[in-house]
Structure 1
C-alpha cells in the first residue's frame, strides 16, 4: 500500500474529515487534499507531524509497510494528550473561521494602505526644466545609403537625395 493510501486509511480510521486532519497535524488543507488526490506525495515533514500527533500509529507500518497499522502498546488517539490539547483549539478555530469568512484580514488592509502611500508621487517644489537636446556636431560625413533587413529575408535600400 502506498503512503497516500495509508494516510487516507488513517483519516478514515480516526473518523476525521481531511480538513480536520490537516488542522490537527498543523499543515495546510490543500496539502492533504493534494496527497489524497494523488497529485503529491507526503513530505517528510507531514509524516513526522502525523507520527507526533498520533503516537498510536505504527511507524514501521507507515514507512515500510510491515506489521499492523497501530501499535498494540499505544494509547487510543482520542485519549492521547496531544489530541486532547489540539481538539478544543481546532473546534474554536473552525468556528472562528466560519464567522470570519467574509471579513478582510487586517494585514491585507495594512498592505493596501501601504501600496496607496507608495503609489502617490510627491510633487517637487521647484519646476522641472525640460532636458536639453544635444545634436551631434557636424563632422563633414554624409550618409551614402540605408539598408533595412526584414525577417522574411527581404531588404530595402534607401539612398538620400
Structure 2
C-alpha cells in the first residue's frame, strides 16, 4: 500500500529536481491541473495511470522509489540508458507495425481482386422497398441499421 504523505513528498522532490511548479508538471505529464492539486493536498490518491505517465515522461524516476521510497532518484545512468533503448525499440516496433498495416490496408483497399476460373455469380432477386431508392446488393442482408437525428440508432437483424 502506498503511503499518501510519503508519495506527496517524493512528488515534491521530483518537482524541485526539475524546477517545475504543479501546473507545469501536470501539463507535461498530461493530467488535469486540478488532479495534481488534489494529489498534493492529500485529498486524492495517485492512480496507476498517473504514476505511469510520470514514468513515461521522466525516465529517471524509479517506479519503486516513487511508490514506496525504495531505490534511488534520479536513477543511475545505466538504468536510464536501458530505459531509453527499450523505448526506442518499442517505438520502432510500433512504427513498423503501423507501416506494415498501412501497406496491407492500402493494397487491399485500392486493389481489385481478380480470381480466375470463378463461376459466374448468380444474382438474387430481392424485392425493392417502397421507401428506399437503394438497390439491393448481391447476397443476403446481414443487418439493417437506422440512424436517428438525435444520435440514437436501432439495429434489425432479419
Q: Name the TM-score, length of structure 1 as normaliser.
A: 0.44
Q: Name the TM-score, length of structure 2 as normaliser.
A: 0.45
Larger radius of gyration, structure 1 or 2?
Answer: 1
